[in-house]
Chain A
């Protein structure tokens, strides 16, 4: 923290102490995010190039989070693990404070719930960048913004933001059946591209849904990719093997 900033905090603290610590109104947080956003005519090209560069990836690690805010509560599911393309996964997940482990090798797929491994349908598409590529190709965003460069963990990144239509096949069935029309069908995408190698580093998806009797639920999902093409040892967990081999 700079000396000036320290002095600023000090002056603020003294002012608060003297004024009885009244919380004054300030619009600074509302203006920060929009002021720092600039329309970037080359933004879509940069995003597409980053997505195309991911074709060389064979293994990667991911740290992700899905966060849903409803009413007074913000609930999250966390992910941390490794993917070896095309079909091997070793992923830790925390859902509702409970830890799960997902292991998949081809069509051999189980998740651990407590001390027990439970068979699980295998996941087919393990390349998130393919999903994003389809999105920007089939329904390219009208405007792409660039945000100030950010350092994510230790990677300096160029940041792009755009609003795009979401292609949820599942929703259409449920939403139309209920006659609700409460899903916006669109989401705000923020993409972090490594300033050094041009590869995709992080993706954030933000959206909202109107839920009967609950109102707005806001969705915020983030996934950070790292450890590209590092040699991984994704062998079957020993307790899963023991469970499968048990007579």
Chain B
């Protein structure tokens, strides 16, 4: 091999390695997860085609090098949870082992194997292997970690507020584990001498190791900036933003130390009290209901005490004493309702039937739709749940039909799409055939919004869900994209980087991680599939060439 050819070989091997990992993560994993045995059959056929397209003399090297790339990528990913020092040590050991084994099994220069291994490490600095599946439809703009050893937070709460300095854009508000610095405890103890600070300082000392900092995240020129959230920012958020961590079994508490807000959680009831509730099935429902009311009330009070946030209001409307009150576009609203929470203000009826949007409120297993000024405020529609199929506030509103009014995407079990009719009845547009299907959010689009949902496999009866984008048409949800990431929860449509291009803010269940995803500009799946075809064609050409020369 000439020197020039040898130097050409290195970037080709790196590109092949990157392609092999991407193809495996985006195509093979997807086929296996969505289509079960049928997917596995397709994978086997695709692998056989890939291997046998090449002449026998190339095949061994091709298979071994492909497996080498996948194994190194998986090896590097397995250190993801370790501390930075251990990641470096583990990576060095892995590379040495990989080079030795690689050199023994393949006729590839050690330097090339080293460069390929380093490229696979750098690739995972760009996006970790565990999150690589999002590339099917998105690019990962930001990945943040809670960095706490406490298991109290199954999924990190995420929210957004309007950005003061960036009109039309939003700032992310979330939590990170508080890392005590040297001397911090002593400083807090010194603050105890001031009686005014005692109420907040005492729990700050007791929970120093187990508290979370409330932070604001904004995009910078090169990277995202994480700063302590200001009270003026937190005041915009409803009290439930951080209050639902293991609700109602734990209660969120907030403290403010030198302007920085921290949160910690404590059990709402002792283990003995909870067992006592369970062992009294006759009063269990009432007792848990009471626990929920009490915990919600405590969290509301704790949040108000720190942020000054009084009442949750939506478009100037709030619920007080069994009435929807406030003003809408300058006109007063005061109407009786069984609702206790406002789900939103949306246009649920065509403009021909109602000139103004409606307020949607929810009470105990009941949803009411209330007209707003200039119409006389009154309840025009009611939707009731049952104990077998309870309603939920997990509801998404979206214009699925492109007719300029919204449908209600209700995450009952099973999930369903309901459309309000002018006579106050509900038309069921779609019902899921799988109990684990759930709507997450929508991306506004003309001609019908794009539904973002977590949907189980098409074939496998397992309830495990993967992210999917769907368009509603002809009483069916037509798939637009599929992302084989099973842990994306609490998804929000946000505008952090652009006021016109929606992004997806998500928490990762049990990973203590959050992600900001922007629609991908690179069609990775078709691209890696096309490269697969290209490689197979090259193999066939080489096979023909070998036959001719033989």
Contacts and interface: CB of A to CB of B under 8 A. Distances in A.
Pair from one complex: yes
14 contacts: A16-B459, A29-B433, A73-B244, A111-B270, A128-B281, A168-B289, A182-B293, A213-B239, A215-B341, A216-B390, A218-B392, A219-B284, A221-B285, A223-B278
Residue of B286, B312, B319 contacting most chain A CB atoms (<10 Å): B286
A217 B287 contact: no
Interface in A83-112: 89, 91, 93, 95-98, 100-102, 104, 109, 111
Given A79-B275, A212-B319, A71 B392 contact: yes
A183 B435 CA distance: 26
A93 B267 CA distance: 12
Q: Which 7 A-B pairs have CB atoms at the shortest separation, nearest pair first?
A: A168-B286, A210-B364, A207-B285, A97-B151, A209-B289, A215-B393, A187-B285
A33 B433 contact: no
B247 A21 contact: no
B151 A96 contact: yes
Given A208-B385, A216-B362, 5 more contacts: A13-B36, A13-B458, A187-B387, A189-B281, A223-B281
B430 interface: yes
Nearest to B412: A30
Interface in B266-319: 267, 270-290, 292-294, 296-297, 300, 312, 319
Residue of B240, B273, B290 contacting most chain A CB atoms (<10 Å): B290
A196 B307 CA distance: 60
B238 A213 contact: yes
B305 to A, nearest CB: 16
B287 A26 contact: no
A97 B279 contact: no
B458 A71 contact: no
Contact of B38 (A10, A170, A216, A221): A10
Contacts of A34: 388
Interface stretch (A39-47, A119-127, A149-157, A229-237): A119-127
B245 A131 contact: no
B244 A70 contact: yes
Interface stretch (B67-75, B86-94, B472-480): B472-480
Nearest to B313: A213
B217 to A, nearest CB: 20
B429 interface: yes
A214 B249 contact: no
Contacts of A122: 272
B330 interface: no
Contacts of A98: 151-152
Given A21-B479, A174-B293, A131 B429 contact: no
A144 to B, nearest CB: 15
B285 A68 contact: no
A48 to B, nearest CB: 14
A73 B246 CA distance: 8
Interface string B190-234: 000000000000000000000000000000000000000000000
Nearest to B320: A212
Interface in A43-78: 64, 66, 68-73, 75, 77
Contacts of A14: 38
A89 B519 CA distance: 54
B154 interface: yes
Contacts of B343: 215
B290 A175 contact: yes
A244 interface: no
Residue of A12, A79, A93, A214 contacting most chain B CB atoms (<10 Å): A214
B261 interface: no
B524 interface: no
Interface residues of B, number: 93
A71 B286 CA distance: 19
A179 interface: yes
A128 B283 CA distance: 11
Given A13-B35, A70-B292, A205-B285, A102 B271 contact: yes
A35 interface: no
Contacts of A178: 293, 297
A118 B273 CA distance: 13
A184 interface: yes
A89 B275 contact: yes
Contacts of A89: 275
Contact of A25 (B288, B364, B476): B476
A170 B282 CA distance: 13
- In this complex, the interface size class of chain A, counting residues with CB under 8 Å from chain B, is 35 or more
A116 interface: no
B141 interface: no
A24 B285 contact: no
A25 B455 contact: no
Contacts of A189: 281
Given A185-B286, A207-B387, A180 B340 contact: yes
A171 B364 CA distance: 15
A50 B475 CA distance: 47
A128 B245 CA distance: 29
A91 B273 CA distance: 12
A151 to B, nearest CB: 18
A71 B283 contact: no
Contact of B246 (A17, A75, A205): A75
B147 interface: no
Contacts of B272: 102, 104, 109, 111, 120-123
A203 B478 contact: no
A71 B287 contact: no
Contact of A69 (B239, B276, B390): B390
Contacts of A93: 271, 274-275
B288 A68 contact: yes
Contacts of B405: none
B549 to A, nearest CB: 41
Given A22-B479, A131-B280, A170 B387 contact: no
A70 to B, nearest CB: 5
B273 to A, nearest CB: 8
B32 to A, nearest CB: 13
B354 interface: no
A24 B247 CA distance: 34
Nearest to B429: A25
Given A20-B478, A25-B431, A166-B286, A175 B387 contact: no
A216 B338 CA distance: 12
B329 to A, nearest CB: 23
A188 interface: yes
A211 interface: yes
A195 B321 CA distance: 50
B363 interface: yes
Contacts of A205: 281, 284-285
Interface in B372-428: 385, 387-394, 411, 413-414, 428
A126 B387 CA distance: 27
A135 interface: yes
A64 B455 CA distance: 28
Interface string B423-459: 0000011111111010000000000000000010011
B490 interface: yes
Nearest to A101: B271
Residue of B155, B365, B433 contacting most chain A CB atoms (<10 Å): B365
A218 B386 CA distance: 10
